[in-house]
Structure formats: C-alpha cells, structure tokens
Structure 1
Amino acid sequence: MGEKGEAACEKVGRCAEHGKKLVYFCRLEKLKVCSKCAITGSHRGHTVVPVEEALSELKELLSARLVKLEAESLEQTSRLGEIEHNMTAAQEEAEMLQQQVQEDFAILRSFLDSEEKVLMEWIATEKQHILEELERLKAECLERAKHLSLLMDPFKAVLQSTNLSDVLKVLNISSDGSSHPCETANDPVVRFEAEKFCGPLQYKVWKRMLQIIQTVPEAYTFDHLTAHPHLEISTNRRSVIPRREALPVDYANGRFDTCLCVLGTEAISTGKHYWEVTVNKKAKWDLGVAYSSVPRHGDIFYRPSRGIWCLTLRDGYCYEACDEHDIQLEVQHSPGRIGIYVDYEGGVVLFFDAETMLMLHAFRTHFTDQLLPLYSPCTMEEAVPGDQRLTIFKLNV
C-alpha cells in the first residue's frame, strides 16, 4: 500500500487493505496500522505498539522537545535582556564619558586661554611701555639734532670766508659757551627684551597646568614590612631589587614568605589614582593591585576572584592579564614604564604603556575592600645583565 493510501485510511480509522481498525502504530514508518498489516502485511517485522502507547510516547518526546525549546527561548529572552541592558548602559556611559571629556577639556582650554590672555596682555603692555619710552628718546634726539644744526650753521658759513675778523668772531662766540648745546646726559636707549617671554614657554605653562590636573603620577612607596626576604627596598622606598640571598629580616605576619612580592604603602579606598612603575628592560615582572587582606603566606593566585588584578611579563615578550582565565596580550612595543590607573568607585583597573599612553588592558569589577598596589620583580635573572629593579616613577616638577 502506498503512503497516500495509508494516510487516507488513517483518516477514516480503518485499514484500506484489510478493513480493520487502525489500532497499532508502526515506529519505523510512523503510521497507524491494523493488526493484519503488523502480522502478515507490509509492516511485518516492524516494531509496532498500540496507538495509545505510541501517543503517550510521542507526547513525552514532544514534551521533552518543548522543554528544550522553552529553555532555549528563555536563554534568548535573557540574552535579549542583557543586550538591551548593555545598549542602555553603553548609551548612558558613553554620554557620561563624553560629558566628562568635554568638562576636562573645557578646564584645560579655559586654563590655556587664561594663560594666553595674561601673556599677550603682558607683551602688549611691555611693548607699549618700550614704544612710549623710545618715542620720548626720539623726540629728545630730534630736538638736540635741530639745536646742533643751528649751532653748526655759523661755523659752516665762516669756513667759506677769507675775512680773519669773521673767523675770530665766531671762535669767540663759541668759546664763551653761548653756542654750546645743553649739557644734558643722553638716557640709555631701551629695547624690547623678547627674551623675557621666550624660553621653554610650553613647559612653563605645563608646570602651572599641573595645579589643575587632578590625576598625575603619584609618588607611591613600597611597604618594606611586607617585602619577601629576597627583596631589598631602597632607602627612599621607591625601588625594589631581587636578591639571591635572603636579607636578615623579621618574618612578620604581614610579610610575603613564598611569593616574591611587596605591597605599596598607600591604601586606596576611594577616588581615582594613577602611578607609574619603571621596569626598564626586565624580562619578567608582576604589577597590579590587591585587597589589603591578600594572603601573605604560601602561594597566591593572581585572580580577581582572589582579590588581585594583575598584569605579568614573562620571557621579555609574553604579557598576560591575570583574569579568571589568563588573557595573552598583543604588545607591539615593550614599554620601559607601566602606568596603573584605579577608579575605585568606577570599579576600573587600567594598565598603560606609560611612554605612549596606549592602554594594555582593562579590568572591570566592583571593589568591596581597600586596595594596595602589588609589585613583584620576580627572581634574580642570572643570565640577564643590567638593572633588575622596579622603581616607582616620581614626577619631578
């Protein structure tokens, strides 16, 4: 029997070939059949079950598929909600950032405009003063020149004369002082001293601009009481140097005893902070921030879930951001100084190439405890020449 015939018979409830009721279901061909079809007919040897059993099984299958589809639908609904939330957040954050950028640049422009105005007014005032003084000197000079010209006229005339009496007369007049010019000393000729306004103008303005810049490299220090015994802290507490031999220090509770780490002295629990660490050409180091409660004994794991946000360098070229799964970074230029920026309320930790100010990586989180800078120069590299210290950069102005 063909498929069309069987389908037509199924509608009337009886087998078209045998006239019997379709009380069974063929699992192979997924059709209702009669008893003769199942035993001697075209469905002989196929797996057949009563229609009621097949209906129950098929409903269970449909129910399972429905559950799966509903789960997928719920997942897409949740994903849609996340997408819409992120769209709204992107719009709001971008607008806030744009407003902040406008405000920051407005402050800089206002400062530069004010500096320019003051300097231009100063130059104009100085120019006016010099020009007025030169005009006065010019008038005096012209007056003296006119007077001298009048005095010289008799001399010029008598030099053409052959009369001795006329020559003597002029000499007598000139010797009695009546023909001498005024005995007034000439004031020095002033000039416009442009050098007063020259020099490193942009640098001088930049130094004054630091007064209005809220975030500049902060001169942080190392907490020597937390330094691993194989780490030496400099006298000014801004350099840390790995040593082959342990230093004679007290193994206090707050000191790292396994990982070659040291914490910063300055705690961060609010605000925005930025500092820079000079790494020179070191082939390995660890830099970041950690909760002040970070374990000091035994191995520690650089993970945000452990309260540590860290960037590492290995082999001189392998930069990694230590997220829950390490993220290898593509860094074209090996920076000699790393910048670290923390916005506590914003939940942001950023790492920069401090020489180009290109961002290397960003962590986004929500802080629940005070932070401390975390540093590690790693172990002494025997085969590597040169300085192996880490130094906290101080902006000297």
Structure 2
Amino acid sequence: MEDGGCGQVGRCGEHGKKLVYFCRLEQLKVCSKCAILGSHRGHTVVPVEEALGELKELLSAHLVKLEAESSEQTSRLEEIERNMTAAQEEAEMLQQQVQEDFATLRSFLDSEEKVLLEWIATEKQRVLEELERLKAKCLQRAEHLSLLADPCKAMLQTTNLSDVFKVLNISSDGCPYETVNDPIVRFETEKFCGPLQYKVWKRMLQIIQTVPEAYTFDHLTAHPHLEISTNRRSVIPRCESLPVDYRDGRFDSCLCVLGTEAISMGKHYWEVTVNKKAKWDLGVAYSSVPRHGDIIYRPSRGIWCLTFRDGYCYEACDEHDIQLEVKHKPNRIGIYVDYEGGVVSFFDAEMMQTLYAFRTHFTDQLLPLYSPCTVEEGLPGDQRITIFKLNM
C-alpha cells in the first residue's frame, strides 16, 4: 500500500492508474482521475517529478541551514575550548604570581622579624652584661665594707682609746675600692615600641612594585571651565571660563583634563579622591584622543572609562554601557593599568574591591583622563576631585 491507502504501490487503489501526481494540500501521490474527478479535485497537484524537485530544494535549503548552524556550533565549541585552555593557563599564571608575591612578602617579613629579634637579643645581652659588671663591683665593694665594719663594731665595746683610734684610722684609710657610682643601665623598651607594623609597612613599600602613584593634571589640556590647583593634583569645575590660552591640546567641549604622566609599559596604580560628588568621569585614553568637540567614551575610540551620575549610578563605558551594582559608595577610586597585560581595572580604593575591569590590547601610549563634570548646583562643600598622594 502507498501513501495513506491510495492503492497498490505505484497504482491508485480507486482508479487503477499510476500515481504520477502529488497533491500539495494533503501531501499525497495521486492519479490523474483523483486530481480531476476524485477526492483531490480542486487541490493543487503537480507532477511527482516536480514535487520531488521542489522538496529536494527545500531539503537542500534546510541542509544548508543545518550545516551553517553546525559550523557555528563547531566554531563556538572551538572558542569554548580556547577559552578553557586560556582560563587554565591564566589561572595557573595568576596562582604562580600570587605565590611569588606572597613569598616575597613573607620573605621580607621573616627578614624584618629576624633583624628585629636579633637587635632585641643583642641589646638584652649588652644590658645584662653591663648589669652583671655593676653587680660584681657592688658585691665586691659591699664585701670590703663588711670587712671594715666588723672591727668597728668590736671596738664599740672596748674602753681602750688607742685601740679605737687605731681601728678608726685603718677603716678610714684602708679602702682600696672606689664607691660604685656608675649609672645603672636598663633595658630601653621604648627603642622597640611605637607603631611597629606601620614602620615595617613603610619599609615594605620599597619591595612593592605597584603602590598609589602621585600623578598630576596636565593644566595645558584642561577645559577652560576647569581650575587646576597649584600642586596640579586637584581639579575644580567653575561656572565661568578661566583666562587661559586656547591651545590645540586643550579640551574645548568636554569638561576633561588629561594626566601629565604617559603610560607605555609596565603596571601602574593611582587613586582619585571623589568625596561626595554626584558625578564624575575617570579612566585612561590614548594620547591621541580628540580634544575638540564631543568625545565618546568607548574602547573602540581609545578610551576606557568609568562614570558616576546622579549620586548613585556607576557605569562602565564598554562598547555598550554597563550599569554596575555598587553597594558601598567609595570616596576614593583606584585605577590600575597593566599595559602589557591589556588590563584597565577600577577599584573601590577603600575596600580594594573591583568595580569593573576592561580587557584589551593597547597600541599607543595612554594618559589618565579625568572629568569632575559641571558645577553641581545646591551641593555644599568642595566639588574638586583630587589625585591621592601616599605620604611616606
């Protein structure tokens, strides 16, 4: 039987004719009488060869889609495997780096502890030896005085004047030892007191490669409505334009200023105090960033930036803005750049919690980019942002 009971294979069960047509509506092969007079009258019928060709075209199109999707999944699988390999390698490298960094810190602390304990032991030995010397002299003097005192005590009982006079002369003139008046030394604990951990931490900074760097603002790039402090570590937005020279390197539309120190290698970290400002922009940009007209914060434009608006909204300006969930509003933002590693990270500098990290590949030197934005009406207090300087 063929196609839903239409007769023997190749023949119509009702009319006995060959099944040479295909009914598209019911998707069955039919004979000529079925198509003209029978139950398939009025349906769209085509020759079986034509229907087969059409179905094969549909099948081919479906196969193309399946192969395309299969190719896409293969590519995706390869990407997943590459990422798995990269994750394994990067995690192992990071673990090794962490172990090396902490080993360096432990070695430093062990060395500091050893030096300090040896110093304490040496000082203790010196003090004890000096006290032993004084003790010996005191005992020697006391013993001699006792020898002189005994005859004096005996003469107190006699009535012989010459004997008393003789003993008195001996006691007064026969003392070969000087009175021991050397100062009594003590163990001076105050030499070792004070903020021990802080002192060690300050020395530890000498071995730490990345500490907050005291960067400065390049006043020649500052928008005319931005005032740069004398020490060039603070920038204050102003309502009125300042009397500045208009140069090609100065921003004329965006209220931005660049940092003075260029970054073209190594790892760098600095912090910016934002206090209670309700809006600001912080990041890094290629030194070739446009200074005229509006600029767009995008990595594809050579800018990696974090923005803050309305007193609560933090956004990472990736190729699409990414709103961040920040529970603790930091007063200071840390910015970390690993040039060779292609990393720009932003931190809550008080909690040392990562806010956002960009991964990229740098092709030009970078400059820090800052904006305190416009003057915030009704906001009391100072509206400046300041580059934090770690006082040593």
Which TM-score tier does this pair reach, normalised by the shorter chain?
Answer: over 0.9
Aligned position for 1:257: 252
SS at match of 1:195: helix
Do structure 1's residue 118 and structure 2's residue 112 form an aligned pair?
A: no
Q: Does the CA-based 8 Å contact 2:253-2:294 persist in structure 1?
A: yes
Unaligned runs of 5+ residues in structure 1 are: none
Q: Does the CA-based 8 Å contact 1:233-1:239 persist in structure 2?
A: yes
Aligned position for 2:89: 92
Distance 1:23 1:308 in 2: 69
Moved over 6 A (4+): none
SS at match of 2:268: strand
Q: Deviations over 1:175-225 (max 9, x none)?
A: 442454723333211111111111111111111111111111111111111
Aligned position for 2:54: 57
- Judge which range, 170-179 or 365-374, deviates more: 170-179
Distance 1:100 1:44 in 2: 81
Q: Aligned letter for 2:128?
A: L
Report the CA distance between 1:173 and its aligned residue. 1.2
Q: Deviations over 1:276-301 (max 9, x none)?
A: 11111111000000111111111111
Distance 1:99 1:371 in 2: 28
Report the CA distance between 1:59 and its aligned residue. 0.6
Q: Does the CA-based 8 Å contact 2:214-2:387 persist in structure 1?
A: yes
Distance 1:389 1:206 in 2: 30
Cα RMSD of the aligned pairs, angstroms, is 1.7
Q: Does the CA-based 8 Å contact 2:283-2:304 persist in structure 1?
A: yes
Aligned position for 2:168: 174
SS at match of 2:99: helix
Q: Aligned letter for 2:29?
A: K
Once the two structures are superposed, the pairs formed by residues 29-178 of structure 1 within 5 Å of their partners are 29-159=26-156, 161=157, 163-165=158-160, 169-176=163-170, 177-178=172-173
Distance 2:363 2:90 in 1: 22
Distance 2:165 2:24 in 1: 150
Q: Does the CA-based 8 Å contact 2:255-2:371 persist in structure 1?
A: yes
Aligned position for 1:343: 338
Distance 1:194 1:18 in 2: 120
Q: Does the CA-based 8 Å contact 1:304-1:323 persist in structure 2?
A: yes
Do structure 1's residue 286 and structure 2's residue 286 form an aligned pair?
A: no
Do structure 1's residue 15 and structure 2's residue 12 form an aligned pair?
A: yes
Distance 2:309 2:326 in 1: 13
Report the CA distance between 1:2 and its aligned residue. 9.9
Do structure 1's residue 324 and structure 2's residue 316 form an aligned pair?
A: no
Q: Aligned letter for 2:99?
A: Q
Q: Does the CA-based 8 Å contact 2:235-2:386 persist in structure 1?
A: yes
Report the CA distance between 1:168 and its aligned residue. 6.2
Distance 1:389 1:33 in 2: 86
Once the two structures are superposed, the pairs formed by residues 180-219 of structure 1 within 5 Å of their partners are 180=175, 182-219=177-214
Unaligned runs of 5+ residues in structure 2 are: none
Q: Aligned letter for 1:93?
A: E
Distance 1:123 1:21 in 2: 113
Distance 1:330 1:170 in 2: 101
Distance 2:153 2:35 in 1: 154
Q: Does the CA-based 8 Å contact 1:134-1:189 persist in structure 2?
A: yes
Aligned position for 1:245: 240
Taking structure 1 as the reference length, what is the TM-score of the superposition?
0.94
Aligned position for 2:348: 353
Q: Does the CA-based 8 Å contact 2:257-2:371 persist in structure 1?
A: yes
Q: Does the CA-based 8 Å contact 1:282-1:316 persist in structure 2?
A: yes
Distance 2:208 2:240 in 1: 43
Do structure 1's residue 373 and structure 2's residue 346 form an aligned pair?
A: no
Aligned position for 1:223: 218
Q: Does the CA-based 8 Å contact 2:151-2:167 persist in structure 1?
A: no
Q: Does the CA-based 8 Å contact 1:154-1:170 persist in structure 2?
A: no
Q: Aligned letter for 1:112?
A: L
Q: Does the CA-based 8 Å contact 1:173-1:179 persist in structure 2?
A: no
- Judge which range, 218-227 or 186-195, deviates more: 186-195
Candidates 292, 295, 301, aligned match of 1:297: 292
Q: Does the CA-based 8 Å contact 2:155-2:163 persist in structure 1?
A: no
Distance 1:314 1:333 in 2: 15
Distance 1:246 1:319 in 2: 28
Q: Aligned letter for 1:5?
A: G
Distance 1:232 1:100 in 2: 42
Q: Does the CA-based 8 Å contact 2:152-2:168 persist in structure 1?
A: no
Q: How many residues align?
A: 391
Provide the identity percentage.
Answer: 83
Q: Aligned letter for 1:94?
A: A
Report the CA distance between 1:101 and its aligned residue. 1.1
Q: Does the CA-based 8 Å contact 2:344-2:357 persist in structure 1?
A: yes
1:2/1:66 Cα in 2 relative to 1: closer, same or farther (>3 Å)? closer
Q: Aligned letter for 2:139?
A: L
Q: Aligned letter for 2:260?
A: T
